Amino acid sequence: MNSKERFSNRVEDYVKYRPGYPREAIDYLYEEGGLSAESVAADIGAGTGIFSRYLLERGTKVIGVEPNDRMRGAAEEALSGFPGFRAVPGSAEATGLPGAYVDFIVSAQAFHWFDQAAARREFARILKPGGKTALIWNVRLTSGTRFLEEYEDLLLKLGTDYADVNLRNVTREQLASFFRRGTMREARFTNRQIVDFDGLSGRLRSSSYAPAPGHPNHEPMMRELKALFDRNQQNGHVSLDYETTVYLGEMES
């Protein structure tokens, strides 16, 4: 499936069940990265606007660049109360924005879908001189508790193409080469979702590798997910633990 259309049938679950980002990660962008209330930021692969909201709440103007019509529409609806937000159709490789237009680029949970060479050229084109780029992920932990390990096993066993589209396939070397040589900085923060079974199943359904209803793996996966939850729940909840990673740097002009 075209990566730009993979989430079209998952928008509602994406809005409701995807994790947010820790305050410390947002603080880092403002205190160390140079973002401010006076900045104009482009959120590339903005999706339903989850990350854009954090910047808007601090007064930053945000242009959400999103190729998927349904996700972009969800962002426009969710962020309609912020006059500083504008959503535009476009991709990381062709944003449609003028040259030297934005002070800062963020891309949360999206870089692993990009054509990296084309995106690097486009990011450099739309950034003002001295502008920075931040690539952000919530990286779900796959070990440390029985639940995390069993959940990872389930995705590998019954996910449609989980191993192929896993964001962990992006190497540190690829990330470093995306930025201007020697400018990449890394920061890591703790993040967590405490969810009941509805929250867990919704989080899974929001993932592009979760088999949709009608797929032969859908019902077996949902059955095994419930059994996994029942084995591991405490007081009706389990913990999805993440490491929020931020890669910050300058682009080659």
pLDDT digits (tens, 9 = 90+) for 175-229: 999 999 999 999 999 999 999 999 999 999 998 889 989 999 999 999 999 999 9
**How many Å apart are CA 71 and CA 208, to the nearest integer?**
13
pLDDT at 166: 61
Query: What is the band of 118 on the pLDDT scale with cuts at 50, 70, 90?
Result: very high
- Range list of H helices, the chain: 11-17, 23-31, 50-56, 69-78, 116-126, 146-158, 162-165, 172-178, 197-205, 218-232
Residue 164 pLDDT more than 90? no
Paired residues of 186 in beta bridges: 247
pLDDT at 141: 96
pLDDT at 113: 86
Q: Which CATH number among 3.40.50.261, 3.40.50.150, 1.10.3470.10, 3.40.50.720 corresponds to the domain 3-141+166-193+241-250? A: 3.40.50.150
Pull the structure tokens for residue 57.
């709440």
Query: What is the band of 9 on the pLDDT scale with cuts at 50, 70, 90?
Result: low
Radius of gyration of the CA atoms of the chain, in A: 18
- Residue 132's identity, in one-letter code, is K
| pTM over 0.75, yes/no | yes
Residue 152 pLDDT more than 70? yes
Query: What is the band of 128 on the pLDDT scale with cuts at 50, 70, 90?
Result: very high
Strand order from edge to edge, sheet including 102-108 = 85-88, 61-65, 40-44, 102-108, 127-140, 238-250, 185-195
Residue with tokens 């990660």: 25
Task: Give 9 or 170, the one with higher predicted confidence.
Answer: 170
> Which burial class, exposed, middle or buried, applies to 60 when counting CB atoms under 10 A from its CB (0-12, 13-18, 19+)?
buried
Residue 116 vs residues 10, 38, 61, 176: alpha-carbon distances, Å: 25, 29, 25, 12
Q: Give me the mean pLDDT over the 11-16 stretch.
A: 87
Query: What is the band of 1 on the pLDDT scale with cuts at 50, 70, 90?
Result: very low
Q: Give me the mean pLDDT over the 94-110 stretch.
A: 97
- Residue 228's identity, in one-letter code, is L
User: Cβ distance 91 to 120 under 8 Å?
Assistant: no
User: Cβ distance 147 to 239 under 8 Å?
Assistant: yes
pLDDT at 3: 46
User: Cβ distance 89 to 99 under 8 Å?
Assistant: no
Residue 46 pLDDT more than 60? yes
Residue 100 pLDDT more than 50? yes
Task: Give 39 or 8, the one with higher predicted confidence.
Answer: 39
DSSP states of 72-106 as a string?
HHHHHHHTTT-TTEEEE---SS---PPTT-EEEEE
pLDDT at 112: 87
Q: Give me the mean pLDDT over the 100-106 stretch.
A: 98
What integer best gives the mean pLDDT of the chain? Answer: 93
